A and B are shown apart, each in its own frame.
Chain A
Amino acid sequence: GIQVEQSPPDLILQEGANSTLRCNFSDSVNNLQWFHQNPWGQLINLFYIPSGTKQNGRLSATTVATERYSLLYISSSQTTDSGVYFCAVAYSGAGSYQLTFGKGTKLSVIP
């Protein structure tokens, strides 16, 4: 199956700072998602971004599928950005879709 690796595993930021989270994947895919897991455990969809760049407020994401990586940018970070960020790919194998996740990046934004 596809391997998904995220870096860094942990990140501590001062409020107002910018950050870049990275997701590498081992094979060609035509889909990729970024999620934010909030302190209550819920996984919130941030981006569905198989290729190109998308922006949503202070967050943006870029996927370069040919080079097998995706980046999540957080600008002017706020304490509410704290939590774990996961990337995931869905690949089709043996007639079914498998969802594979990275291990996540734990972000702590301190005031």
Chain B
Amino acid sequence: DGGITQSPKYLFRKEGQNVTLSCEQNLNHDAMYWYRQDPGQGLRLIYYSQIVNDFQKGDIAEGYSVSREKKESFPLTVTSAQKNPTAFYLCASLPRGRVPEAFFGQGTRLTVV
């Protein structure tokens, strides 16, 4: 079945550590996105990528980094510069073309301990 896989589902990070969240899709979609969601809030865009080896900052990119070395993969690194990383992170993908219907992964819940 085609879809988007995020891993891990839960992640605990110590203060000062970098952690990487995985997002893989087999939908052959060109565009991929990372969103952050805080409790009771909406989705805020962190980074997005339209093609391999290219990505753009979203609204809240500070303290995060991404790479897009393969079409299928768009990992997100939460660096120690991100002062309040505890949140729910969602990855999405979107095809180019006439039917831009987005799909989401199951999310990763990151907690700083």
- Min CB–CB distance A1 → chain B (angstroms): 10
Residues of B close to A40: CB separation below 8 A: 106
Residues of A close to B56: CB separation below 8 A: 96
- Min CB–CB distance B39 → chain A (angstroms): 10
Would you call A86 an interface residue if the criterion is a C-beta within 8 Å of the partner chain's C-beta atoms? Answer: yes
Residues of A close to B103: CB separation below 8 A: 45
Please list 26 pairs of residues, one from A and one from B, whose beta carbons are closer than 8 Å in the complex, sorted by A's number.
A31-B99, A31-B100, A31-B101, A33-B102, A35-B104, A41-B88, A41-B109, A42-B104, A42-B106, A43-B90, A45-B104, A48-B99, A86-B42, A88-B102, A90-B94, A90-B100, A90-B102, A95-B50, A97-B31, A97-B96, A99-B45, A99-B92, A99-B102, A101-B42, A102-B42, A104-B42
Interface flags, B75-103, vs A, CB<8A=1, else 0: 00000000000001010101010011111
**How many residue pairs, one in A and one in B, have C-beta atoms under 8 Å apart?**
53
User: CA of A103 to CA of B44 in the docked complex: distance in angstroms?
Assistant: 10
> Do A48 and B101 contact each other (CB < 8 Å), given the known contacts A43-B90, A86-B42?
yes
Which B residues form the contact surface with A (CB < 8 A)? Answer: 31, 33, 37, 42-43, 45, 48, 50, 56, 88, 90, 92, 94, 96, 99-104, 106-107, 109
- A97 with B50: CB separation less than 8 A: yes
Residues of A close to B94: CB separation below 8 A: 90, 97, 99
- Min CB–CB distance B58 → chain A (angstroms): 9
- Min CB–CB distance A8 → chain B (angstroms): 15
Among residues of B, the one whose C-beta sits closest to the C-beta of A90 is B100
Residues of B close to A33: CB separation below 8 A: 101-102
- B101 with A42: CB separation less than 8 A: no
User: CA of A87 to CA of B88 in the docked complex: distance in angstroms?
Assistant: 19
Give the contacting residue for B42; candidates A31, A42, A90, A103; CB below 8 A. Answer: A103
Residues of B close to A101: CB separation below 8 A: 42-43
- B31 with A42: CB separation less than 8 A: no
Q: In chain A between 61 and 110, which residues have their CB closer than 8 angstroms to a CB of chain B?
A: 86, 88, 90, 95-99, 101-104
Give the contacting residue for A41; candidates B37, B45, B100, B101; CB below 8 A. Answer: B37
- Min CB–CB distance A104 → chain B (angstroms): 6
